[in-house]
Amino acid sequence: MIDTVGRAQETPDQTQPFAELGLKPDEYQRIREILGRRPTSSELAMYSVMWSEHCSYKSSKVHLRQFGDKKPPTDALLVGIGENAGVVDIGDGWAVTFKVESHNHPSYVEPYQGAATGVGGIVRDILSMGARPIAVMDPLRFGPLDAPDTRRVLPGIVAGVGGYGNCLGLPNIGGEVVFDPTYLGNPLVNALCIGAMKHEDIHLASAKGVGNLVVLYGARTGGDGIGGVSVLASETFSEGGPTKRPSVQVGDPFMEKLLIEATLEVLHAGLVEGIQDLGGAGISCATSELASNGEGGMHVWLDRVLLRDPTLSPEEILMSESQERMCAIVRPENLDAFLARCAKWDVEAVVIGEVTDTGHLTIDWHGQRIVDVPPRTVAHEGPVYERPLARPAWQDTLQADDASTLPRPQTAQELQSTLLNLVGSPNLASKSWVTSQYDRYVLGNTVLAQPEDSGMVRVDEVTGRGVAVSTDCNGRFAKLDPYAGAQLALAESYRNVATTGAEPLAVTNCLNFGSPEDPAVMWQFSEAVRGLADGCLQLGIPVTGGNVSFYNQTGDIAILPTPVVGVLGVIDNVTRRTPMAWGTAGTIMLLGSTRAEFSGSEWAHHVHGHLGGLPPLVDLEAERSLARVLIDGAREGAIRAAHDVADGGVQQALVEMALRSDSGAKIVVAGDPFTFLCSESAARAIVVTDDEAAVRERAAAHGVECTVVGTVTGGPTLEFAGLFDVSLEELRSVHEATIPAALA
Amino acid sequence: MRIGVVTFPGSLDDRDAARAVRIAGGEPVALWHGDDDIKNVDAVILPGGFSYGDYLRCGAIARFSPVMTAIIEKAHEGMPVLGICNGFQILCESHLLPGALIRNDHQHFICRDQTLRIEDVSSAWTSSYTLGQEIVVPLKNGEGGFVADDATLDQLEGDGRVIARYVGMNPNGSRRDIAGIRNERGNVVGLMPHPEHAVEALTGPTTDGLGFFASVLTSLAGSR
């Protein structure tokens, strides 16, 4: 029997499975107060998914406000936080939108589809802003490389990212692959997408214009991904309907490709008043958000939704997370033209409702009213929690356990073997086994891709204007000090963008943490957000959007706090980008100051299995100054190659540059050799120049320390004068063997 | 010189192919899979991608689209046709070229800068290269292993119809390292790697791919 609004009024005392749906007793009570009666089963379904942590940000909202409150003054932000994705002005009438999201839990359960639909979801977010998606990136984190479950999870996730993105025709230009034991039961799959559009093409998710039509188009609605396991446990929802459904969605990249082309055509033809993608919470989310952002009312005939499975119940249709669907608000006079464009691309479309000014979202099922709610209460006025937070007792012990007590390599021979050991360690080894499964060439605008410091794509083929994006996070630093760790993630990403010659402009983030119900995790989260917001303010680049993923924890063991930061930069002419490859000659210079900082370093982690102490010093003013030298140096042509110094220190940066060009160098080690080679002090980069004086002058003008550390020789070895020589052949074989050997 | 570039549902490298034609000095003309009109073009490129999502078999559905009927007819009359990657698969499914493309022997999608040796310079699409010239162009495929029975392979080799072979490594298990072949007449060429991604120094590993597009413009000019 259909649970109608009338029936809900007549049977106020009927027990409802709110707890199974993940709602707390007081949340259920609040729904009853809002409606002045018990919710219908359809209404309960909608509130349960929309008030979930994933959709409502109820634990994080009070902290995330800082990104708005501490927003630096900027003219670049065209659309800020709160829309599907933020939009920034990159000049010449172009706007760029970018965002990173998590798909962690589904990817652990079903690696291929979990990762694939993660890519699909973020691409639709970018598309719904009116932009053509132009590139993707995927920061990935796994358990130890040699763990049996990593062999199950990693190949599937990589194949899923590639399988979906390659088939969509989007170049994959970067990302990360990081290994740490805490990710063993909780791999992180973050997906970033970049889109470009002209300013006039920006679209927003709002249902404006009473009488306008609500069109659902794309794939048919099926029983996949329905509201997660809590809903499936509910007996009352599936009487006579499907009983057990996979909670992971199944992707169809071919349909998504058609959806992209059809959507861009209807947008450019001016046939759309408002648009929203269907992701988490499906139709519940799209209808309530569109209505809430628009005239405030909407009526939906739910039985018009095209189904893959005709036995689906209305509750299931409302909660289904079937992929490759979009919802558009279309004027009645434009409907035929809209449907014709969809038909051209073989995309099914159907009118499921219309915009009203009643202030209510009403939904009918074969003539019976099953939902009548104020849409704001579903979409925007969910519960907000100030979760208890507490600096964990172990934090002081952890910070006191400094890496300075670890035994260091002393002799030249020990330094050499440490170098080879680190160059082949899982986190520092070549990731080409992963990235070679991604198409980096499609669309023909990729200027830089992995393993370069940032991915760079040309946006305007005439002027050469382009964008660069990097994503970074060292979770070990964040564990040692979440505030500083988040700022170091920001600093590295910012530096990577500047290293390639682009001007950093905006920030997105994917905040991956353990359970918000653990006060220690909540403290890590609050500190990371505070650090990131303060850091963005100081660097003058706003946060334009992002995503929070909690509950990345198995039992009591939470993942390393992992605030992945993506920075987007603009370069007015991509022909002036700075690559990593240093060619066969030139002077090698180190920009920035080196301190003996080893706590949380790759050396401490890989060689000693140690994590303790305080992370490297954060000096955002030094980062700004360094960025100026890098960007101006690229623009003036003084800097020919560059690479940021981060994980693994200077030696790792030099090895990667040498291998990129297959060209050796002679390095003159300054000061304590181990500190010079392995320290992970921030705000540093290696640059190669044919005009040493010009770089010195630039660096001096910005107060950046500048040291000549060697010369590119073009030879077959990397020589560390007075210490040791190592052949590029040996470095390459060590660097490239690790990952394929482990996954073979 | 008007070079048609077909867009099927799921075509991905159509913009790239059009750009390559433009850079080589030709005029790219967009062709639509559902049209049976090929707009009086002088030659046609079937671009890379995943037409129809690779459902059934790569290229198996695209081969039956209205535009292919017209293209197959013109190809038999001598119009130059180049199929790149998915386009190569479509040409095999259309029986304009022999053999088939199957899943890479290592089972992974692979994207790399691939060295090729040009082994035939008589085709409409390879005439601007020198025999034995080695070029580097991107390769990116999941189902790029060229297979045919030994008799067919022997005949292709005997007739000089292998236009390019993989050098250094065989990236997908193709029989006899074959990267591309032509029909007997030399107007129809299928190639698994992507010359259209190697036409600008800025975005490609080289500009070696331009030769395919320059070749057809020269061949067409010569035949007028």
* pLDDT one-digit tens code per residue, A1-58: 799 999 999 999 999 999 988 899 999 999 999 999 999 999 999 999 999 888 889 9
A346, A437, A443 ranked by CB distance to B108: nearest? A437
Find how far residue A257's CA is from the centre of its chain: 21
Nearest CA in chain B to A156: B108
B interface with A, Cβ–Cβ < 8 A, is 9-10, 12-13, 15-16, 19, 48-50, 52-55, 108-112, 138, 140, 142, 194, 196-197, 199-200, 202-204
Top residue of B7, B203, B208, B213 to mutate, by most chain A CBs within 10 Å, is B203
pLDDT surpasses 50 at A422: yes
Task: State the residue for tokens 């910005």.
Answer: A702
Confidence at residue A238, expressed as pLDDT on a 0 to 100 scale: 39
Least confident span in A150-154, A249-253, A523-527, A542-546? A249-253
- Chain B residues closer than 8 Å to A439 by CB: 109, 111, 140
Are A442 and B55 a contacting pair at CB < 8 A? no
Are A439 and B19 a contacting pair at CB < 8 A? no
B50, B52, B197 ranked by CB distance to A444: nearest? B197
CA distances from B55 to A25, A253, B50, B94 (A): 48, 12, 9, 16
In Å, how far is B142's CA from the nearest CA of chain A? Answer: 9
- Chain A residues closer than 8 Å to B138 by CB: 441
In Å, how far is B49's CA from the nearest CA of chain A? Answer: 7
Q: Which of B33, B143, B194, B197 is catalytic?
A: B194
Q: Which two tokens stand for residue A479?
A: 């564990």
Are A257 and B110 a contacting pair at CB < 8 A? no
Query: How many contacts does A have with B, using Cβ atoms within 8 A?
Result: 85
Name the region of A649 (left: φ>0; alpha: ψ -120 to 50; beta: rest): left
CA distances from B11 to A103, A167, A348, B43, B84 (A): 27, 9, 19, 18, 11
B10, B13, B200 ranked by CB distance to A442: nearest? B13
Q: Which helix (H) or strand (E) holds A33?
A: helix A25-35
B13, B109, B196 ranked by CB distance to A437: nearest? B109
In chain A, residues under CATH classification 3.90.650.10 are 203-379, 579-744
Give the separation between CA A534 and CA A382, rounded to whole angstroms. 27
- Tens of pLDDT, residue by residue over A425-468, are 999 999 999 999 999 999 999 999 999 999 999 999 999 999 99
Q: Which of B93, B119, B143, B196 is catalytic?
A: B196
Confidence at residue A77, expressed as pLDDT on a 0 to 100 scale: 87
Least confident span in A71-75, A250-254, A316-320, A400-404? A71-75
A229 closest CA partner among A211, A212, A243: A243
In this structure, whether the domain defined by A203-379 belongs to CATH 3.90.650.10 is answered with yes
- Chain B residues closer than 8 Å to A159 by CB: 108-109
Tell me the CA end-to-end span of chain B in Å, nearest whole number: 11
In Å, how far is A215's CA from the nearest CA of chain B? Answer: 22
- Chain B residues closer than 8 Å to A461 by CB: 19
- In three-state secondary structure terms, A263 is helix
Give the separation between CA A482 and CA A503, rounded to whole angstroms. 26
B90 closest CA partner among B14, B169, B167, B175: B14
- Chain B residues closer than 8 Å to A346 by CB: 9
pLDDT surpasses 50 at A408: yes
> Do strands B188-191 and B81-84 pair parallel, antiparallel, or not at all (unpaired)?
parallel
* pLDDT, mean of residues A728-733: 98
Top residue of A342, A430, A441, A452 to mutate, by most chain B CBs within 10 Å, is A441
Confidence at residue A244, expressed as pLDDT on a 0 to 100 scale: 44
In Å, how far is A435's CA from the nearest CA of chain B? Answer: 8
Active site residue A54: yes
> Do strands A706-712 and A724-727 pair parallel, antiparallel, or not at all (unpaired)?
unpaired
Active site residue B194: yes
Per-residue pLDDT of chain B (224 residues; tens, 9 = 90+): 999 999 999 999 999 999 999 999 999 999 999 999 999 999 999 999 999 999 999 999 999 999 999 999 999 999 999 999 999 999 999 999 999 999 999 999 999 999 999 999 999 999 999 999 999 999 999 999 999 999 999 999 999 999 999 999 999 999 999 999 999 999 999 999 999 999 999 999 999 999 999 999 999 998 76
Give the separation between CA A126 and CA A256, rounded to whole angstroms. 13
Q: Which two tokens stand for residue A329?
A: 């608000």
Confidence at residue A591, expressed as pLDDT on a 0 to 100 scale: 98
Are B203 and A441 a contacting pair at CB < 8 A? yes
Confidence at residue A449, expressed as pLDDT on a 0 to 100 scale: 97
B9, B140, B204 ranked by CB distance to A439: nearest? B140
Are B53 and A255 a contacting pair at CB < 8 A? yes
Confidence at residue A75, expressed as pLDDT on a 0 to 100 scale: 80
A257, A435, A441 ranked by CB distance to B10: nearest? A257
3-state per-residue secondary structure call for A491-521: HHHHHHHHHCCCEEEEEEEEEECCCCCCHHH
Give the separation between CA A411 and CA B169, rounded to whole angstroms. 40
Are A441 and B140 a contacting pair at CB < 8 A? yes
Confidence at residue B94, expressed as pLDDT on a 0 to 100 scale: 97
A interface with B, Cβ–Cβ < 8 A, is 159, 162-163, 166-169, 252-255, 257-258, 345-346, 435-447, 458, 461, 574-575
Q: Which helix (H) or strand (E) holds A688?
A: strand A685-689
Top residue of A437, A442, A443, A458 to mutate, by most chain B CBs within 10 Å, is A442
In Å, how far is A164's CA from the nearest CA of chain B? Answer: 11
Task: Domain A579-744: give its CATH code.
Answer: 3.90.650.10
Q: Which two tokens stand for residue A741?
A: 């050997």
Measured at the alpha carbon of residue A333, what is the angle toward residues B30 and A356, in degrees to the nearest 5? 125
Are B53 and A167 a contacting pair at CB < 8 A? yes
Nearest CA in chain B to A347: B9
Top residue of B86, B109, B196 to mutate, by most chain A CBs within 10 Å, is B109
Nearest CA in chain B to A436: B111
Q: Which two tokens stand for residue A444?
A: 């023909």
Find how far residue A519's CA is from the centre of its chain: 25
- Chain B residues closer than 8 Å to A438 by CB: 109, 111
Calculate what percentage of chain A has a pLDDT beyond 90: 88
A113 closest CA partner among A281, A225, A245, A194: A225
Q: Which of B58, B85, B92, B197 is catalytic?
A: B85
Are A253 and B50 a contacting pair at CB < 8 A? yes
DSSP structure string for A606-666: HHH----S-PPPP-HHHHHHHHHHHHHHHHHT-EEEEEE--TTHHHHHHHHHHHHHT--EE
Which segment, A11-25, A68-82, A201-215, A457-471, is predicted with the most confidence on average?
A457-471
CATH of B2-223, one of 3.40.50.720, 3.40.50.300, 3.40.50.880, 3.40.50.11890: 3.40.50.880
Q: In sequence order, what E strands does A418-513 have?
A: 446-448, 455-458, 466-472, 503-512
Confidence at residue A294, expressed as pLDDT on a 0 to 100 scale: 87
In Å, how far is B185's CA from the nearest CA of chain A? Answer: 31
Domain residue ranges of chain B, discontinuous segments joined by +:
2-223
Give the separation between CA A192 and CA A197, rounded to whole angstroms. 17
Nearest CA in chain B to A434: B110
CA distances from A515 to A114, A523, A548 (A): 21, 11, 12
Report yes or no: A205 and A355 within 8 Å, Cβ to Cβ.
Answer: no
Give the separation between CA A444 and CA A253, rounded to whole angstroms. 20
- Say if residue A310 is exposed, middle or buried (CB neighbours under 10 Å; 0-12, 13-18, 19+): exposed
Confidence at residue A227, expressed as pLDDT on a 0 to 100 scale: 63
Find how far residue A302's CA is from the centre of its chain: 33
